[in-house]
Structure 1
Amino acid sequence: MTVKKSTPSAAVLNWMPVAAMAVVAVVDIVAGPNVGFLPLVSLGPAFAGLVGGWRRTALIGLVALLLCLGLGLYNGLFDSSRGYSAMASVAGVTGVGVAAAVMRSRREAELASVRSIAEVAQRVLLRPVPLAAGPLQAAVSYTSAVAEARIGGDLYEVVASPHGVRVIVGDVQGKGLAAVETAAVVLGAFREAAYDEPDLMRLGERLERSVAREPDDEKFVTAILAEIGRAGPAVLLNYGHPAPLLVHRDGKSDFPQPPAYALPLGLTAHDGPGPEPYHVDFAPGDQLLLYTDGVTEARDDQGGFYPLGERADQLLKDPDAHRALDALREDLVRHAAGPPHDDAAMLLLRYQGHGEAPLRP
């Protein structure tokens, strides 16, 4: 069982009501009854209503009332209306604090419910990639630029189809919910077409039509498709996306460039050149890293971009693809200055051998 440890800031907030009442009591005793510090005892339930539950707020309010009663009797304030007004002040603040704590608890419960639904939707959209597909070991890393979000405008998928292992990594133009919606459209079309289409070009055309049917005709998606069969080189199809990083078994690395960069998905109305499939030697022991521009455009505090090619050796330090990709991601986080300004997705394919292991979730 995992025990959650409270942070120092949380501990300070929890003890603040007690500390406030203790300070007020000491100052009131030292200063005497003529200064009028007694109503400040209500600071205890006021702070409790901001950070605690309603039961704790009510308990601290009761303690504050007893403290106010004791100090009022000690100072002889109940001979006039001062003692009763101080008690009324503490009781009123306690009531308001309890009401605030109840409302905050309800909002937190609603937020937790909404967040759980969002997490389920995120897992449906970006499912975990298979640990192994044919001869490949796959690992993925995703960092969203939106706080508290696990997904954004970047997308990835690995499908073990009858035509080979097919992979997509893409980047939707823009951010926010509109980008997530477009990413869902592309992923849905890819998951279906990857099984049906025997030709990678036909698969790309299916994706193009799915994006072109979107109501926002200015929305586009840069993407790279890959097909790795049981034998022979990998086939790539690039729609205006950064070239992948190929790390060979001997440690050499390069960025295989397409014959010509095509327009992104969704921009066929501009009559630009279509993509041309090209082959890349991908042998046992090699690694292919597909990524989005949030990786290579991450800047350090001097404004320098992340040198992905120079850090390719990170992928050779661990025999496990997931740990190797985690090391590369940690290196990227150390390089970047502050929080990420763009979504960053990385999908690593490691060629283990010519085995024909079935797809394992």
Structure 2
Amino acid sequence: MTDHQAQRRRKELLRARGRSISWAAPLLLLAGITAVDLNTTERFRIVSWIVLVPGIAAALCGVWTTAVFAALSLLDYVAVDRAWPREYQATLPDFILVAFAGLLALLACVVRRNGERRMLHMRDIAETTRRTVLRPLPQGWAGLDHAAVYLAADTQARVGGDFYDIQPGPHGTRVLVGDVQGKGLGAVETAAALLGTFREAGYHERDLATVADRLETRMIRHRGHTVALGRDDGDRFATAVLLGFPPDAPDVVELINFGHEPPLAVGPTGVVRPLPPGGGLPLGMTDLTTTGPPPARTVTLAADETLLITTDGVTEARDADGDFYRLPEEAAHAPTSDPAPLVAHIRDGVLRHTHGRLSDDTTIFAVRRTATP
């Protein structure tokens, strides 16, 4: 379970019938301390424990509710203490302690609420960034059934260097899934640059190999720009899988692999077969070879087969014993080859395998042609 899911789970536990019941815990504590103090002997006076009540309220409730409990605790302290004979009543320092604890609890609650507002604001910014880089894709977009899950290793940032997109065009539909080396804003910026080029080249260029050339050129240009700015991005690269779905060949998929894990073809009966790896170098590394970008390969795909593409957040996921997540075996046990259930099955398996502790950004992407063009 991720930190965000755990936080949302805790909030759900503090609600009943859609309303917050966070006030119940400090109220029960207040009532319990009062009852115990009034029903025990003078040797077991615990009314000073009432300082815990505003502290609990500060951790669970809002500012005004915490203020109410701070005042209520002080009044209850005075009332309970006066119910005892004078020789057993608490001293003035205890009264000051209760009052001071209420003020500190109120201040702590204000700080907590301000921190939560800042966190929500940063989360909104991260969500906007994510939706800009990884734009939402309509269902059945460009004649493809698809599903995708992106899990950022940094749960606060919620966006990293993994990327994917579908681009329809006059020469067929193109799909790009990849992973930028490294983390942080530099990886996000590189992913955005590659996606921008893919969306233009994938639409205009007739040959998939030309789209690959454009992506390689964009990677080199972007890397040169960041180096000119004085940043240490001179060796950044990206692995990727570029797919082409020709409009006149419904059982054919074109594939160019830039050093990425090869896609898996998942059938409805659990049969999993890896597609050809391609043997190409990652984007940004063509200067290490004289052959240029990897060649395009043509693969025959059955109508009920789904292509499953994942980044190394899946293939390199480890459990507590250091064992890797077995993607082909898990994909073979998926209940169906439909993209959405297949992606959900792999996502749940990875989170179970790692106990929610992802060491790298994780993307799970599944796609196939729709039954009806």
**TM-score category of the 2 structures, normalised to the smaller one:** 0.7 to 0.9
Q: 1:30 to 1:167 in 2, by over 3 A?
A: same
Question: What is the aligned partner in structure 2 of residue 104 from structure 1?
Answer: 112
Matches within 5 A, 1:285-304: 285-304=304-323
Whichever residue aligns with residue 265 of structure 2, its letter is L
TM-score w.r.t. length of structure 2: 0.80
Q: Distance in 1 between matches of 2:311 and 2:217?
A: 22
Q: Distance in 2 between matches of 1:73 and 1:338?
A: 53
Is 2:208 the partner of 1:190?
no
Is 2:25 the partner of 1:15?
yes
Instruction: Say if 2:242 and 2:257, in contact at 8 Å, map to a contact too.
Output: yes
In structure 1, stretches of 5+ residues that fail to align are 357-361
Q: 1:83 to 1:296 in 2, by over 3 A?
A: same
Is 2:36 the partner of 1:26?
yes
Instruction: Say if 1:18 and 1:44, in contact at 8 Å, map to a contact too.
Output: no
Is 2:226 the partner of 1:219?
no
Q: Distance in 2 between matches of 1:63 and 1:248?
A: 65
Whichever residue aligns with residue 204 of structure 2, its letter is D
Q: Distance in 2 between matches of 1:94 and 1:49?
A: 9
Whichever residue aligns with residue 344 of structure 1, its letter is T
Instruction: Say if 2:171 and 2:247, in contact at 8 Å, map to a contact too.
Output: no
Whichever residue aligns with residue 180 of structure 2, its letter is V
Offset of 1:168 from its aligned partner? Answer: 0.6
Matches within 5 A, 1:1-361: 5-7=12-14, 14-16=24-26, 18-19=28-29, 22-23=32-33, 26-27=36-37, 30-32=40-42, 38-77=47-86, 83-212=91-220, 213-214=222-223, 215=226, 216-232=233-249, 233-247=252-266, 252-259=271-278, 261-271=279-289, 273-274=291-292, 275-314=294-333, 317-318=335-336, 320-353=338-371, 355-356=372-373
Q: 1:43 to 1:160 in 2, by over 3 A?
A: same
Per-residue CA deviation, residues 200-256 of structure 1 (Å, 9 max, x unaligned), is 222122222222223111111001101111133211111111111123577643222
Offset of 1:16 from its aligned partner? Answer: 4.2
Instruction: Say if 1:299 and 1:337, in contact at 8 Å, map to a contact too.
Output: no
Q: 1:324 to 1:43 in 2, by over 3 A?
A: closer
Whichever residue aligns with residue 228 of structure 1, its letter is F
Q: Distance in 1 between matches of 2:44 and 2:146?
A: 72
Q: 1:277 to 1:320 in 2, by over 3 A?
A: closer
Per-residue CA deviation, residues 67-87 of structure 1 (Å, 9 max, x unaligned), is 22223323455999x643333
Q: Distance in 1 between matches of 2:104 and 2:353?
A: 48
Instruction: Say if 2:25 and 2:56, in contact at 8 Å, map to a contact too.
Output: no
Offset of 1:158 from its aligned partner? Answer: 0.8
Offset of 1:322 from its aligned partner? Answer: 1.5
Identity of aligned residues (%): 34
Q: CA RMSD in A?
A: 3.2
Q: 1:330 to 1:27 in 2, by over 3 A?
A: same
Q: 1:135 to 1:62 in 2, by over 3 A?
A: closer
Instruction: Say if 1:135 and 1:230, in contact at 8 Å, map to a contact too.
Output: no
Offset of 1:299 from its aligned partner? Answer: 3.1
Per-residue CA deviation, residues 149-188 of structure 1 (Å, 9 max, x unaligned), is 5432211111111111100110111223332222122112
TM-score w.r.t. length of structure 1: 0.83
Q: 1:95 to 1:204 in 2, by over 3 A?
A: same
Aligned length: 347
Instruction: Say if 1:155 and 1:170, in contact at 8 Å, map to a contact too.
Output: yes
Q: 1:296 to 1:230 in 2, by over 3 A?
A: same
